[in-house]
């Protein structure tokens, strides 16, 4: 009787051991495969884009990620010159969307963007803005006599600031207002200075002015007074997600995306 009990116990132990091993073999590799498949589906694209593109790109991001659930778009908004310098120094970026041709061309010259992987996509307009309700400044000439402070982007790194300085020089009033100028890191900071009344006027893109209800557009700068405002976009050659980046690059050229840009005041090529 005792021997029979021992035999039964050993048999049950072996049966449990075999079943446990079988379950482990089935669940272990399968779980790993599921994890690998899930991880391979996720792809994150990093796009360095001019600050003036933020509102339009927010809309495009929402639409694109809905249509491409395996892709996540991560944006780094800022002054085009600063973004260009970051990319030149090795920042991991997949696409560059600049507000100035010269900053973009630097990366092409450095071999970081292939000519066939870049194009001029958008245009913009330069405007003089004042805090809402301000009645004293009616045009660029009034800034000389009626403004204590005017803000523009830092010309060396902010394309809008470069265009603004060119326009003011062409109008012959730069030297008069230069002591009054408050430089900003990008156009959004210029807009903020005007909205809060920290300056009497600012020069920004029309697209930035159109999204604020705290400022008023006084006048537009004559396009003949500054370099053409062009927004080129391109794929970084060493992108680790080149194919996904190319797909998004092509989407930005689609009628669907261009319509969004137009709704925010950009001109399209």
pLDDT for the residue numbered 246: 97
Compute CA distances 160 → 61, 165, 178, 189, 260, whole Å.
Answer: 24, 9, 16, 12, 21
Report the relative pairing of strands 215-220 and 150-153 from DSSP bridges: unpaired
* Residue count of the chain: 269
CA–CA separation, 126 and 180 (whole Å): 19
CA-closest candidate to residue 186, choices 166, 168, 162 = 162
pLDDT at 82: 95
Instruction: Give the pairing type, strands 201-205 and 150-153.
Output: parallel
Going residue by residue through the chain (269 aa), what tens digit of pLDDT does each one get? 444 544 545 544 544 544 444 444 444 444 344 333 333 458 999 999 999 999 999 999 999 999 999 999 999 999 999 999 999 999 999 999 999 999 999 999 999 999 999 999 999 999 999 999 988 999 999 999 999 999 999 999 999 999 999 999 999 999 999 999 999 999 999 999 999 999 999 999 999 998 899 999 999 999 999 999 999 999 999 999 999 999 999 999 999 999 999 999 999 97
Q: Which pLDDT score, from 0 to 100, does residue 41 have?
A: 52
What domains lie within the chain, and their CATH numbers? 42-123+230-268 (3.40.190.10), 126-225 (3.40.190.10)
Beta bridge partners of 128: 203, 219
Listed residue (231, 228, 235) closest to 258, CA to CA: 231
pTM of the model: 0.77
What integer pLDDT is reported at residue 29 of this predicted model? 41
Ramachandran area for residue 265 (φ above 0: left; ψ -120 to 50: alpha; else beta):
left
């Amino acid at each position: 009787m005792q021997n029979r009990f021992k035999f039964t116990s050993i048999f049950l132990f072996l049966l449990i051991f075999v079943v446990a091993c079988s379950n482990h073999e089935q669940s272990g590799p399968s779980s790993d495969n599921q994890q690998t498949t899930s991880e391979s589906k996720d792809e994150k694209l990093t796009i360095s884009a001019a600050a003036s593109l933020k509102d339009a790109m927010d809309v495009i991001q929402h639409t694109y990620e809905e249509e491409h659930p395996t892709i996540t778009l991560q944006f780094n908004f800022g002054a085009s010159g600063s973004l260009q310098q970051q990319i030149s120094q090795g920042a991991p970026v997949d696409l560059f969307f600049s507000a100035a041709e010269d900053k973009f061309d630097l990366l092409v010259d450095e071999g970081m963007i292939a000519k066939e992987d870049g194009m001029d996509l958008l245009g913009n307009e330069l405007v003089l803005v004042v805090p809402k309700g301000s009645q004293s400044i009616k045009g660029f000439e009034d800034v000389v006599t009626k403004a204590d402070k005017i803000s523009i982007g830092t010309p060396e790194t902010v394309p809008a600031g470069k265009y603004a300085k060119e326009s003011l020089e062409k109008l012959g009033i730069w030297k008069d207002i230069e002591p009054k100028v408050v430089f900003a890191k990008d156009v959004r900071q210029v807009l903020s200075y005007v909205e809060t009344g920290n300056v009497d006027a600012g020069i920004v893109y029309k697209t930035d002015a159109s999204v604020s209800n705290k400022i008023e557009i006084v006048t537009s700068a004559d396009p003949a007074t500054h370099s053409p405002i062009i927004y080129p976009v391109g794929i970084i050659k060493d992108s680790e997600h080149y194919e996904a980046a190319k797909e998004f690059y092509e989407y930005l050229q689609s009628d669907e995306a261009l319509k969004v840009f137009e709704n925010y005041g950009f001109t399209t090529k």
